Amino acid sequence: MGRARTFWQRVSEGRQVDDLWTHFVADARASYGFYGRDVDWEQIRKLPRWRRPFHITKEFFWALLLKMTPARRVLLIIGLVLMTLSASTLRIGNQTFLDIKMEALAAAIFLLLLSLELADKVTMKRDLEIAREIQLWLVPNEPPQVPGGDIAFATRPQNSVAGDYYDAFYPDSGSQRLLLVIADVAGKSVPAALLMATLQASLRTIAGEGASLAELVMRLNRYACAHSLEGRRFTTAVIAEYDPATRQIGYVNAGHNQPILRRTNGATEVLDAGGLPFGIEATATYEVGAAKLEPGDALIFFTDGVVEAFNESGQEFGSSRWLDAIRTLPVIGARDTLQHLMQRVDAFVGATRQSDDITCMVFRSN
């Protein structure tokens, strides 16, 4: 009994059965969505209902098979053939002429395939973890100290690495101008993360040269256009600069989700001045907006992964829920504000695995 308990603890890592089931359901939904992208649902809907299950099964089989290497595809087919033949028995009268028992061999082939796929996954996961560590070096671990202000940020990558970027920094040691940045590179995982790294490097370099906000945005867009694969790898962003002496904030919204300024009286404003996302048109012009923060005001930056977060029914969190969460914020610090907002999102999505990165940054004026 003790050995069985130790075995179960090692396998389950001490998790409860309901917790394991929740994770299994989340994984099953994610896998269904992953393979389901290769299914021609429009064509299946045209078929009679009684024929649809067979065609869905066939489409999912091919979606799975074609994601393997050719050698592993052959192994899988051999295993399936052996498993099918193992159920075959030829009898004439009371005599058995053919009784194939290949279950053990078929199971060994499936186990071999599982081990090969798992080895690939572990290797890839290790590489992604290293990439994630490198990516974490590019964003701040702790927010900078701001006279009369308070900052907090959080990000949850959809994969090990993310295409979302956030930052809060002073361009140089003698500067009183604080730059606040949030950005979302089109795409996901490694390609988006690489472009995010180049964006961060370009932004830091240009800002360190003392460029004005308008010049910074124009140069950043020209650089993005030179590396956007003809506009296919564009970046949405909000770049803002805050002057603690005057509490003025200037900003440019390059096609990003509009940051929300929540006043102490509950009123809300959006930061919508700007222009096209970076990387679409090299000659694009950008409007610089401005706002003044009063003590107790909260400015919330976020990426589309927040409002597009979905629950197990596929229902999106949506802009209205997000706005409602912001309007009902208590007057608390930036860290508590961020936690309050993320809890609202978490309560809605539950354990559902998301398809996009989720990033939020809060700036509180004291």
Q: What angle do CA 303, 234, 151 make, to 5 degrees?
A: 30
Of 144, 162, 161, nearest to 152 by C-alpha is 144
Rounded mean pLDDT, 163-191: 82
- Token digits of residue 70: 């050719």
Which one is predicted more confidently, 36 or 231?
Answer: 36
- Token digits of residue 328: 């009902």
For residue 316, the Cα-to-chain-centroid distance in whole angstroms is 15
Rounded mean pLDDT, 201-221: 90
Which one is predicted more confidently, 49 or 322?
Answer: 322
Residue 241 has pLDDT above 90, yes or no: yes
Residue 332 burial (CB count, 10 A): 15
Summarize pLDDT for 344-359 with one digit per residue, the tens: 998 998 877 777 888 8
Backbone angles phi, psi at 68, to 5 degrees: -90, 165
Of 43, 96, 35, 20, nearest to 66 by C-alpha is 35
Summarize pLDDT for 140-165 with one digit per residue, the tens: 788 888 888 899 998 887 766 667 88
Cβ atoms of residues 288 and 244 within 8 Å:
no
Cβ atoms of residues 291 and 271 within 8 Å:
yes
Residue 83 has pLDDT above 90, yes or no: no
Residue 124 burial (CB count, 10 A): 12
Which one is predicted more confidently, 99 or 296?
Answer: 296
The pLDDT of residue 93 is 57
Distances 283 to 202, 208, 213, 226 between C-alpha atoms, Å = 18, 23, 17, 12
Cβ atoms of residues 194 and 165 within 8 Å:
no
Alpha helix ranges (H) inside the chain: 2-12, 17-36, 41-45, 52-65, 70-85, 103-137, 189-208, 213-226, 304-307, 318-327, 334-349
The pLDDT of residue 159 is 67
The pLDDT of residue 89 is 63
- Sequence-distant (6+) residues with CB within 8 A of 277 are 186, 234, 235, 236, 237, 254, 255, 256
The pLDDT of residue 47 is 87
Residue 258 has pLDDT above 80, yes or no: yes
Rounded to whole angstroms, the Cα distance separating 287 from 35 reads 43
Among 21-35, 169-183, 231-245, 250-264, the least confident range: 21-35
Per DSSP, what are the bridge partners of residue 237? 183, 255
Rounded to whole angstroms, the Cα distance separating 23 from 303 reads 25
Rounded mean pLDDT, 171-184: 85
Residue 97 has pLDDT above 60, yes or no: no
The pLDDT of residue 322 is 94
* CATH 3.60.40.10 domain span(s) along the chain: 140-365
Parallel/antiparallel/unpaired status of strands 149-156 and 164-169: unpaired
Residue recorded with tokens 């559902």: 352
Rounded mean pLDDT, 117-121: 83
Task: Please indicate, yes or no, whether the overall pTM of this predicted structure exceeds 0.85.
Answer: no
Cβ atoms of residues 249 and 291 within 8 Å:
yes
Domain 140-365 has CATH 2.130.10.10: no
The pLDDT of residue 338 is 92
Res. 277 pLDDT band, cuts 50 70 90: very high
Residue 166 has pLDDT above 70, yes or no: yes
